[in-house]
C-alpha cells in the first residue's frame, strides 16, 4: 500500500495536462500517472500521417516522452501500469506482473476512448485492424506496406484521413460507409464536395453495411450487405466509445455513456475527476451535456481538472465541437452543428449555402463551399466548409460560436481582406447577408 | 436642375454598397452615384498584384463594372462626374464639361481617401508616382517595366506589397521608411520577422526621411537625410488621408479629420450620411472614435448607410481594425491594437510573445510568431502574427476581439487541431496560457 496525493488513470492528453498543471501549482504533491502502454501524451490524430510516411518514428506521435514528464515536471509516471480496480480511496494497478494498491487523496479518470467494435463474424481475423491507440499505427503501417488492396470501413475523420494515407502509399483503397455520405456528421451539400474528390482517388461505397470478414488464415474478403471486396488488409474506423469500464463502478455516467462531470471536471463523487475522451461535458452551442471526444478539448479539460484538483478554481465552459481535416485537395471543417444535427436538437433553423472563390477573383485559388446554420432568432448554430481556405473560416467560426454570436456578429466581425487569400465580402459575411434576408432583417 | 431621392458622391466600395442596398430595399427610388473616374466598385487593395502581373487587365480591380450596376441593380451611375460643390439639399456636378445641379433628398459622402503628400522638393517630377486610385496602377506598372531601379517610399501595407510586386518583376528595389521598422503599426518583435525577410530581397533603409527628388526631365535620384538613391521610378506610399474637401463645408469632422458619424452612419446633418474611407467610426477595441480606412469596413459602412438611408434601421458597431498581408514567405496579420498602440491609448498592458511551429512538429511547415496584448483585467486588446499559418489565427482573433473577449475566451475557443495545419495547443492558446500566468490566474 502506498499513499499518493493525486492518482491519474491514463497518460494521454488529458491525463498529462492535468498532471502538469497540478505539479506546476503544487510542486510538493505526489502526482502519479498510471499508463498501460509505454507511451504518454500520445496524440492519435497523427496516425494517418505516420502511416503515409510524413515521419519515420511513431514515437513522434507523443508530444513529449516519459522522461520529460518525470525529470522536467516531476510527475511520477508509471508505464505498463494497468489499473484493474478502482474503489473509494484506492486503486489496484498491475505492474510488472504484480498487483499493487495505491491510496489516493484525489483521483482523475483520463481513460480516453476505445474503438467501437463492428460485432461481425471474424473481426479478429489476422489483417483486420482497428484504429485505436498509437500502437495500432505501427501495425497498420507494417501491414499496409505489404498489401495491395486495402478496405477501410468507416468514413468519419479517421476513415477519410486513413483513405488518403493508404492511397498515398500506392495501394488500391476501397472505403465502405454505412451512411449515404462520407463524413456523415456534415450536411449533404458539404459532404458532396468531399465525395466527388474521394471518387477520383478511391472506391467509395456508400450505404453499405459490413456483415463479415472472410479468409483462411488472414483476411481475404470483406462482405457487405451488397457485395464483397477482396483485400489484404481491412482497417476499421467506425468511431469510438468512451472508455469507462473502470469508472462506471465508482461514478455516474451521463446520457452519452461518458462520465458525468460538472464545470470543474469533478464527477458525481467528491475528489474524483474526469477529463478527456472519457468525460461528458457541455456543448456550448446547445448548452446541453455532450460527449465531445477531441484532442484540444481533452487537453483543456485536463488543464481545468488539474487546476481544480490542485485546490484552485477554474471552470470549463464546454466545447463548440470544432474540427478540420482534408482529403487531397479538399479541406473540410466544421464548428458547431450541421443543419440536420440542429433539427435533431429541436431548433427551427435557417441556413445559407455559399459557393465562391476563396480569394479575390484574379487569383486562381479554387472554390470554397460554406454553409451557415442559424436558429430563427438569428443565433449562429454552426458553420461547415469544404474546398480551399477552410481553416481560417473555421477558426473565425469557432470563436464566434464560443461567444454565442448571432448572424449580425458574423456579418460585422471584420474578417480581413487580402486578395491572395480572402475576399472583400468574405464567404462567412455573404452567408450572414443571405441569412439576414431569410430572417427578414434589413 | 434635377431631383434625386439619393445622391451618392463616390463609386467605390462604400458608395456602391450603399447604392445597391438602397435599390434592393427601395426599388422605386432614384439612386444616383457620381463617380469622377470611369470605374466603380474599384478595390485598390489589388494594385500590387496587378503590378506584379497576377492578372492582365487592371479593370479586374473592379468587383463589378458600371453596366452591372446600371442594368442589374437599377442604379443611375454617372461616371466622369466630378462633384464640385455641395450644399444643403443640392450638389453641383461637372459632367462632359458642363456643370449640373441635382437636388437630393438624402446624400451620402463616399469620397474615400487620397494619398498623403510628402511635401518635398520636386515631388511632381516625371517618374514620381503616388499610389492612389486604380488609375495609378497602370502608370506604376508601365513605368516599372521600363525601369531598372525602383525606390519605394513608405513601408506600410501598400509599400510592403509594392516592394514584393516590383521585385517580382526583376527590378532592384530600395524601400525607404521613416520609422525604425517596416509596418510600423506592428510591435518590434513582429516587424523584425518581416524585416529579416525584406533584407533578403530588397534594400530596406530604416529611419530615413526623404527630403527631395532630383532629376533633369524625370526622376534620377531620391535624396534622404542620410544619403541618395539612384532610380528610374519612385513610388510613394506614405499613407492616406480622408478625402473630405467637399464634406467639410457641410458637416462636422471628427478628431481624426474624417467625417463624424453616428452608428447609423449619419453625419452631423440629418439626411446626410458618410461611409468608407472618408468616415470616422468606432474602434471596437477602444470604444473610441477612430478612422479605420480598410476595404471590408468600407463595404459594411456602405451597407449600413444604405439600410438607414432607405428608412430602415441598422447600426454599425465599428471595426476591430484587422488586416493581413505577406511579403514572399512571411505572412503578417494584426487584429486590434499592438502593444505600443495600447499603451498610447492609456491601457496598462500585459503581453505574450510566442514562437512555435505553425503545425504539428512532424510537419515541416515553418514557424509562426504571435503576440497577444491584453489589459490588466484580462481583456484582449490585440493579436499580431508573422510567419506561417497567420490568416487563420487572425480570423479567430478578429472574431474574439469583436465579441470583447478576454484571455480565458482565447484559451477556451476550441481552435481545431489538424496536424498538417495546426497544433493541439494552438499558438493563440499558448499565448493565453502565458497571459494567465502574468495576470496571476491559475
DSSP per position, B367-434:
EEEEEEEEETT-BEEEEEEEESSHHHHHHHHHHHHHTT-BHHHHHHS-PPP-TTT--SS-HHHHHHHH
Residue B399 has pLDDT above 80, yes or no: yes
State the average pLDDT over residues B244-264.
97
Chain A: give the shortest CA distance to residue B225, in Å.
34
Whether A398 and B391 lie within 8 Å, measured CB to CB: no
Is residue B401 a contact partner of residue B423, using CB atoms and an 8 Å limit? no
Mutate to test the interface with B, among A295, A413, A422, A441 (most CBs of B within 10 A): A413
| A279-328 pLDDT tens trace | 999 999 999 999 999 999 999 999 999 999 999 999 999 999 999 999 99
Chain B: give the shortest CA distance to residue A417, in Å.
7
- List the single residue in B with minimal CA-CA distance to A323: B416
Q: Is A97 left (phi over 0), alpha (psi -120 to 50) or beta?
A: left
Instruction: Give the C-alpha separation, A290 to B330, whole Å.
Output: 40
pLDDT band at B64 (very low <50, low <70, confident <90, very high): confident
Whether A418 and B45 lie within 8 Å, measured CB to CB: yes
State the average pLDDT over residues B87-99.
95
User: What is the model's pLDDT at position B44?
Assistant: 79
To the nearest 10 degrees (0 to 180), the angle between helices B427-438 and B390-402 is 50
The highest-level CATH class for domain B2-42+61-112+242-309 is alpha beta
Residue B110 CA from chain centroid, whole number: 15
**Per CATH, the architecture of B117-238 is what?**
3-Layer(bba) Sandwich (3.50)
Whether A395 and B417 lie within 8 Å, measured CB to CB: no
Question: Between B307, B316, B403, which is nearest A403 by CB?
Answer: B403
% of chain B exceeding 70 in pLDDT: 100
Residue B57 has pLDDT above 80, yes or no: yes
The ranges of chain A with pLDDT < 50 are none
User: What is the model's pLDDT at position A168?
Assistant: 96
Quickly list DSSP for A332-369: EEEEE--HHHHHHTT--EEEEEEEEESS-TTS---EEE
Instruction: Give the C-alpha separation, B233 to B152, whole Å.
Output: 8
User: What is the model's pLDDT at position B231?
Assistant: 98
Residue ranges covered by each domain of chain A: 2-112+244-309, 117-238, 322-438
| B115-124 pLDDT tens trace | 999 999 999 9
Chain A hits for B363, CB-CB cut-off 8 Å, are 49, 54
Residue B365 has pLDDT above 90, yes or no: no
Whether A413 and B402 lie within 8 Å, measured CB to CB: yes
User: What is the model's pLDDT at position B84?
Assistant: 97
Mutate to test the interface with B, among A362, A399, A423 (most CBs of B within 10 A): A399
User: What is the model's pLDDT at position B95?
Assistant: 96
Instruction: Give the C-alpha separation, A399 to A434, whole Å.
Output: 21
Is residue A87 a contact partner of residue A122, using CB atoms and an 8 Å limit? no
Same fold, B117-238 and B322-438: yes
- List the single residue in B with minimal CA-CA distance to A313: B442
Q: Give the number of A-B residue pairs with CB atoms closer than 8 Å.
A: 211
First-last CA distance in chain B: 70
Instruction: Give the C-alpha separation, A434 to B55, whole Å.
Output: 30
User: What is the model's pLDDT at position B230?
Assistant: 98
Chain A hits for B325, CB-CB cut-off 8 Å, are 418
State the average pLDDT over residues B154-177.
97
State the average pLDDT over residues B408-426.
95
Question: Between A307, A363, A395, which is nearest B396 by CB?
Answer: A395
Chain B: give the shortest CA distance to residue A403, in Å.
7
Whether B393 and A395 lie within 8 Å, measured CB to CB: yes
* Comparison of pLDDT for A46 and B408, the residue scoring more: B408
What CATH number labels A2-112+244-309?
A: 3.50.50.60
Mutate to test the interface with B, among A17, A402, A414, A420 (most CBs of B within 10 A): A414
- List the single residue in B with minimal CA-CA distance to A56: B362
Assign B13 to helix, strand or coil: helix
C-alpha cell at B153: 517610399
Q: Give alpha helix (H) positions in B88-209.
A: 135-146, 157-168, 188-201
pLDDT band at B362 (very low <50, low <70, confident <90, very high): confident
Instruction: Give the C-alpha separation, B312 to B264, whole Å.
Output: 10
Is residue B108 a contact partner of residue B305, using CB atoms and an 8 Å limit? yes
Per the annotation, the verdict on A45 as an active-site residue is yes
Whether B418 and A63 lie within 8 Å, measured CB to CB: no
Which helix (H) or strand (E) is B281 found in, with range? strand B279-282
- List the single residue in B with minimal CA-CA distance to A317: B412
Give the global pTM. 0.96
Q: Is domain B322-438 given the CATH code 3.50.50.60 in the classification?
A: yes
**CB within 8 A of B119, min separation 6: which ones?**
none
Active-site option among A45, A62, A278, A322: A45
State the average pLDDT over residues B109-115.
96
C-alpha cell at B147: 525601369
User: What is the model's pLDDT at position B286?
Assistant: 98
Chain A: give the shortest CA distance to residue B171, in Å.
22
Average pLDDT score over chain B? 96
To the nearest 10 degrees (0 to 180), the angle between helices A157-168 and A188-201 is 20
Which helix (H) or strand (E) is B325 found in, with range? strand B322-327
Chain A: give the shortest CA distance to residue B312, in Å.
7
Chain B hits for A418, CB-CB cut-off 8 Å, are 45, 323-326, 391
For residue A274, list its beta bridge partners.
Answer: A109
Instruction: Give the C-alpha separation, B410 to B414, whole Å.
Output: 9
Whether B324 and A299 lie within 8 Å, measured CB to CB: no
At residue A98, φ and ψ (nearest 5 deg) are: -120, 150
Amino acid at each position: 500500500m502506498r499513499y499518493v496525493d493525486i492518482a491519474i488513470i491514463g497518460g494521454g492528453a488529458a491525463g498529462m495536462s492535468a498532471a502538469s498543471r497540478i505539479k506546476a501549482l503544487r510542486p510538493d504533491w505526489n502526482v502519479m500517472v498510471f499508463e498501460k502502454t509505454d507511451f504518454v501524451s500520445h496524440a492519435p490524430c497523427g496516425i494517418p500521417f505516420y502511416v503515409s510516411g510524413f515521419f519515420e518514428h511513431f514515437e513522434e506521435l507523443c508530444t513529449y516522452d516519459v522522461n520529460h514528464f518525470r525529470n522536467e515536471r516531476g510527475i511520477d509516471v508509471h508505464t505498463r501500469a494497468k489499473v484493474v480496480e478502482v474503489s473509494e480511496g484506492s486503486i489496484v494497478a498491475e505492474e510488472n506482473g504484480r498487483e499493487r494498491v495505491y491510496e489516493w487523496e484525489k483521483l482523475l479518470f483520463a481513460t480516453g476512448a476505445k474503438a467501437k467494435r463492428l460485432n461481425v463474424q471474424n473481426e479478429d481475423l489476422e489483417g483486420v485492424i482497428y484504429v485505436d491507440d498509437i500502437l495500432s499505427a505501427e501495425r497498420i503501417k507494417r501491414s499496409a506496406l505489404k498489401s495491395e488492396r486495402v478496405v477501410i470501413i468507416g468514413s468519419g475523420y479517421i476513415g477519410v484521413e486513413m483513405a488518403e494515407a493508404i492511397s498515398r502509399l500506392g495501394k488500391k483503397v476501397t472505403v465502405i460507409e454505412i451512411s449515404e455520405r462520407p463524413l456523415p456528421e456534415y450536411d449533404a451539400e458539404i459532404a458532396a464536395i468531399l465525395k466527388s474528390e474521394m471518387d477520383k482517388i478511391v472506391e467509395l461505397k456508400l450505404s453499405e453495411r459490413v456483415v463479415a470478414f472472410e479468409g483462411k488464415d488472414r483476411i481475404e474478403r470483406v462482405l457487405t450487405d451488397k457485395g464483397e471486396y477482396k483485400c489484404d488488409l481491412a482497417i476499421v474506423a467506425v468511431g469510438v466509445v468512451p472508455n469507462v469500464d473502470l469508472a462506471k463502478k465508482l461514478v455516474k455516467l451521463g446520457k452519452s455513456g461518458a462520465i458525468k462531470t460538472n464545470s470543474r471536471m469533478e464527477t458525481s463523487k467528491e475528489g474524483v475527476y474526469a477529463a478527456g475522451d472519457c468525460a461528458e461535458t457541455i456543448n456550448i452551442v446547445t448548452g446541453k451535456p455532450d460527449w465531445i471526444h477531441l484532442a484540444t478539448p481533452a487537453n483543456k479539460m485536463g488543464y481545468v481538472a488539474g487546476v481544480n484538483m490542485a485546490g484552485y478554481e477554474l471552470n470549463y465552459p464546454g466545447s463548440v465541437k470544432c474540427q478540420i481535416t482534408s482529403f487531397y485537395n479538399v479541406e473540410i471543417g466544421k464548428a458547431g452543428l450541421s443543419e440536420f444535427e440542429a433539427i435533431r436538437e429541436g431548433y427551427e433553423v435557417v441556413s445559407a449555402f455559399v459557393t465562391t472563390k476563396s480569394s479575390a477573383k484574379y487569383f486562381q485559388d479554387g472554390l470554397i463551399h460554406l454553409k451557415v446554420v442559424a436558429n430563427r432568432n438569428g443565433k449562429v448554430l454552426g458553420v461547415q466548409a469544404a474546398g480551399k481556405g477552410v481553416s481560417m473560416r473555421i477558426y473565425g467560426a469557432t470563436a464566434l460560436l464560443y461567444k454565442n454570436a448571432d448572424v449580425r456578429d458574423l456579418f460585422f466581425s471584420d474578417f480581413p481582406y487580402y486578395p491572395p487569400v480572402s475576399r472583400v465580402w468574405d464567404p462567412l459575411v455573404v452567408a450572414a447577408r443571405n441569412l439576414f434576408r431569410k430572417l427578414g432583417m434589413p
